[in-house]
């Protein structure tokens, strides 16, 4: 039977778990019709006259529903059913990793809605609204440039998430200095020091995203431990980007990480990528003479950067 399928398509949004009734357009409620779901005929048990009734819909019931007049198989109505949920309260976070240039705000929904969600963000500071430049690659993120610094007034950010089933919003307020959190230090390198079996030299660089180290110097937190021991040792360094560990266990491989913080404000960065190194060790004496002739430094240096096996715990407790 040839089905005439020319018909404008409609959309119907339904909340997950609710009952849905689809009208067959303007057809008489008591007329005889046939409904198909994605070209599969639906049996009469779902029909209430010419209306289609779906109970406790789930995601799999999203799709195209078509209604045909019973005898002529003429398509009378077509609707796209979209099943999902209204947005829950979005999770919003703002952070300045390139202070004092500006800060970014990023957000996500605590659970999926299976719908096209749109977001609207407003930022108020000193009773004025500030523009938040959408971050093209990262959809759920935007950037605010500072024009003034050392402000005692709070920033107030409100984010509203909306989709066809509803909307929800979150508001946070914070002081300029409280959201400063640098990126982790970069280019961390650990090396043994010749003839020093208990020392390791560690060097690192400012995060490249930190724009003005002169005016806004960072202090650093170094943690290190032999692989065979779980307990970290810590040292805080307020100047410079290098440190010599002087109490390393001879011959033991060490794991080393560094975190950064503005000297006065904000919170510690995440830990840097972990690096490994083993202190210098004496050449074993029993080797043959010509081997001894050449001074060899056995330094099992594996000063390479290893992706962290497990993400370092948030170093915020590092500061305690």
Partner 1 sequence: LNSTDQGTTRHSIQQMYDLTRYLEHQLHTLAASYLNYLGPPFNEPDFDPPRTIGAKAVPSATVDIQEWHSLNDNARLAANYQAYSHLLCHLRTMDGADAAAVPTLHHSLAHFRASLQGLLGSIGGIMAALGYSLPTPEPPPITPKPVPPNFLRKMDDFWLLKELQTWLWRSAKDFNRLRKRVPPSAVMLRLESRRF
263 binds partner 1 (CB under 8 A): yes
150 binds partner 1 (CB under 8 A): yes
320 binds partner 1 (CB under 8 A): no
Binding letters toward partner 1, positions 100-139, x by CB under 8 A = x--------------------------x------------
State the Cα–Cα distance between residues 131 and 46, nearest whole angstrom. Answer: 51
Phi-psi region of 60 (alpha: psi -120 to 50; beta: other; left: phi over 0): alpha
316 binds partner 1 (CB under 8 A): no
Among the residue ranges 2-10, 21-29, 263-271, 291-299, the one whose residues contact partner 1 (CB under 8 A): 263-271
State the Cα–Cα distance between residues 246 and 235, nearest whole angstrom. Answer: 12
74 binds partner 1 (CB under 8 A): no
- Count interface residues toward partner 1 (CB under 8 A): 21
Length of the chain: 320
For 157, counting Cβ atoms within 10 Å of its Cβ (0-12 exposed, 13-18 middle, 19+ buried), the class is: buried
Binding letters toward partner 1, positions 77-106, x by CB under 8 A = -----------------------x------
Among 154, 191, 198, 252, interactor with partner 1 by CB under 8 A: 154
Tokens 């008489």 belong to residue: 28
Three-state DSSP class for 33?
A: strand
Three-state DSSP class for 38?
A: coil
Footprint of partner 1 on 194-223 (CB under 8 A):
214-217
Residue 284, CA atoms < 13 Å, CB-side half-sphere = 4
Residue ranges in contact with partner 1 by CB under 8 A: 100, 127, 146-154, 156, 173, 177, 214-217, 263-265
């Amino acid at each position: 039977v040839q089905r005439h399928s020319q018909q404008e398509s409609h959309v119907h949004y339904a909340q997950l778990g609710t009952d849905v009734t689809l009208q067959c357009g303007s057809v008489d409620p008591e007329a005889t019709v046939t409904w198909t779901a994605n070209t599969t005929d639906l049996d009469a048990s779902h029909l209430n006259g010419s209306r289609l009734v779906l109970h406790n819909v789930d995601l799999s019931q999203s799709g195209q529903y078509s209604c045909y007049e019973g005898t002529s198989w003429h398509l009378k109505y077509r609707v796209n059913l979209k099943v999902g949920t209204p947005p829950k309260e979005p999770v919003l976070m703002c952070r300045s990793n390139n202070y004092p240039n500006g800060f970014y705000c990023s957000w996500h929904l605590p659970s999926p809605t299976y719908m096209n969600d749109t977001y609207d963000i407003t930022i108020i500071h000193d009773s004025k609204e500030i523009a938040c430049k959408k971050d093209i690659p990262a959809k759920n993120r935007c950037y605010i440039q500072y024009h003034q610094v050392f402000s005692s007034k709070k920033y107030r950010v409100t984010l509203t998430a909306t989709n066809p089933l509803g909307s929800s919003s979150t508001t946070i307020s914070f002081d300029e200095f409280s959201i400063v959190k640098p990126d982790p230090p970069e280019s961390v390198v650990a090396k043994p020091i010749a003839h020093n079996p208990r020392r390791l030299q560690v060097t690192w660089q400012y995060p490249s995203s930190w724009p003005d180290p002169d005016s806004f110097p960072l202090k650093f937190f170094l943690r290190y431990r032999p692989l065979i021991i779980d307990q970290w040792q810590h040292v805080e360094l307020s100047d410079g980007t290098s440190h010599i560990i002087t109490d390393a266990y001879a011959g033991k491989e060490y794991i080393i990480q560094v975190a950064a913080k503005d000297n006065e404000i904000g919170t510690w960065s995440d830990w840097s990528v972990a690096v490994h190194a083993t202190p210098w060790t004496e050449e074993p004496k029993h080797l043959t003479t010509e081997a001894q002739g050449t001074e060899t430094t056995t330094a099992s240096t594996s000063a390479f950067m290893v992706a962290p096996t497990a993400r370092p715990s948030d170093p915020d407790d590092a500061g305690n």
